[in-house]
Amino acid sequence: QLEANLKEAKLMAEDADRKYDEVARKLAMVEADLERAEDRA
């Protein structure tokens, strides 16, 4: 049981890591777009 809980917790952590990386990438793209928009303004 403990082993199963540990495995599940590990999978959840990896999933959270992936989602965080994705969000961080999207944020970086939005910030770059914003800078370009400000340069044009």
Structural domain boundaries enclosing 22? 1-41
- Structurally, how many domains does the chain consist of? 1
Cα–Cα distance measured from residue 31 to residue 23, given in angstroms and rounded to the nearest whole number:
12
Cα–Cα distance measured from residue 15 to residue 32, given in angstroms and rounded to the nearest whole number:
26
Burial of 4 per CB tally in 10 Å (0-12, 13-18, 19+) = exposed
Cα–Cα distance measured from residue 15 to residue 20, given in angstroms and rounded to the nearest whole number:
9
For the stretch 1-21, pLDDT in tens is 999 999 999 999 999 999 999
For the stretch 18-41, pLDDT in tens is 999 999 999 999 999 999 999 998
